[in-house]
């Protein structure tokens, strides 16, 4: 059976987004320990873990329940595009529910570095992720290979604050408890050469069954008619792999999309 780019051809979302943040605060429904708030814990444990957010099991269960009733199943997923905005939470749940039977050993999550934190254009972390479903392990062997190639750099502080990646980690752990994750955040000023080198580095570093997920939000702060126009345009560009029109896309991370699509071309999973 052919592989599907679930986020491109099946789960492509026409989100009427009002903003980009998954939540405005990392502290919403976070755990407390010994009477201390989450931010105090984060300082204590920051050298050991990254933290997923929001910390709300009931919310995730509701999203999964609604997704199971609303969407049909898809199999043989190699790559996907999902939002990191809570308005698209059902779509994220749908993707990961479909991956439960596939059980990939590794998931690579690629997202924008929204505020251009850090000194380098591609950042990662070797830390594991704490989620409300337990600890999600980082694939340190893959991460070390990427770091060794010289195009990816450690950016723990930047990733700690980056909702494009921390918003997805609880979904990964809930659906794929034994899967390991590789986290990448990309600045929008990456050159085409840098993007192509990252694609090559990933191909040479990950296991064969790896699934790649780009965490991208589409139209922002627009009236519904403008949102519909821009999202339909984006859909057409993605469906046809029309790189020439990438510069006109209303999305928050063209590099995250470019890297995903080039990976799909390599694995011959465009359809």
* Tokens representing residue 124 in the block: 């990662």
Over residues 239-254, mean pLDDT: 81
Contact 55, 132 (CB under 8 A): yes
Question: How confident is the model over 59-111, as pLDDT tens digits?
Answer: 999 999 999 888 888 889 999 999 888 778 999 999 999 999 999 999 999 99
Q: What is the pTM of this model?
A: 0.83
Q: Over the stretch 17-50, which tens digit does the pLDDT of each residue have?
A: 333 444 433 444 444 433 334 444 444 444 689 9
Question: What are the backbone dihedrals phi and psi of residue 136, each rounded to the nearest 5 degrees, phi first?
Answer: -95, 125
State residue 219's pLDDT score.
Answer: 64
Structural contact between residues 30 and 55, judged by C-beta atoms closer than 8 angstroms: yes
Query: Which residues, listed in sequence order, are joined to residue 52 by a DSSP beta bridge?
Result: none
User: CA-CA distance, 4 to 129, in Å (whole number)?
Assistant: 28
SS3 for 197? helix
pLDDT in tens, 121-166: 999 999 999 999 999 999 999 999 999 999 999 999 999 999 999 9
Pull the structure tokens for residue 48.
């050991």
Q: Tell me the Ramachandran region of residue 17: left when phi exceeds 0, alpha when psi lies from -120 to 50, beta otherwise.
A: beta
State yes or no: pLDDT of 180 exceeds 90: yes
Give CA–CA dist 255/261, Å, rounded.
10
Does the pLDDT at position 236 exceed 70? yes
How far apart are the C-alpha atoms of 269 and 271, rounded to whole Å?
Answer: 6
Q: Return the structure tokens found at 72.
A: 């049909």
Sheet holding 4-5, edge to edge: 4-5, 77-82, 211-215, 106-112, 180-186, 122-124, 153-154
């Amino acid at each position: 059976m052919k592989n599907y780019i679930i986020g491109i051809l099946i789960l492509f979302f026409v989100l009427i987004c009002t903003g980009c943040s998954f939540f405005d605060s990392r502290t919403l429904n976070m755990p407390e320990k010994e009477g201390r708030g989450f931010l105090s814990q984060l300082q204590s444990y920051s050298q050991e873990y990254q933290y997923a957010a929001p910390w709300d099991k009931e919310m995730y269960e509701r999203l999964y329940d609604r997704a199971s009733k609303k969407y049909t199943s898809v199999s043989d997923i190699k790559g996907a595009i999902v939002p990191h905005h809570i308005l698209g939470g059902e779509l994220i749940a749908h993707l990961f529910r479909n991956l439960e039977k596939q059980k990939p050993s590794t998931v690579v999550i690629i997202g924008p570095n929204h505020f251009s934190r850090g000194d380098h254009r591609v950042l990662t972390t070797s830390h594991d992720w704490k989620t409300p479903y337990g600890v999600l392990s980082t694939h340190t062997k893959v991460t070390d290979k990427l770091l060794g190639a010289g195009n990816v750099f450690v950016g723990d502080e930047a990733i700690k604050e980056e909702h494009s990646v921390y918003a997805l980690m609880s979904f990964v752990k809930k659906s794929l408890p034994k899967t390991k994750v590789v986290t990448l955040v990309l600045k929008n000023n990456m050159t085409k050469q840098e993007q192509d080198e990252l694609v090559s580095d990933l191909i040479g570093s990950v296991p064969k069954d790896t699934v790649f997920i780009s965490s991208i939000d589409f139209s922002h702060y627009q009236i519904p008619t403008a949102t519909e126009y821009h999202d339909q345009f984006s859909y057409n560009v993605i469906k046809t792999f029309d790189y020439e029109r990438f510069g006109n896309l209303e999305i928050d991370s063209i590099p995250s999309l470019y890297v995903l699509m080039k990976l799909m071309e390599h694995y011959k999973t465009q359809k």
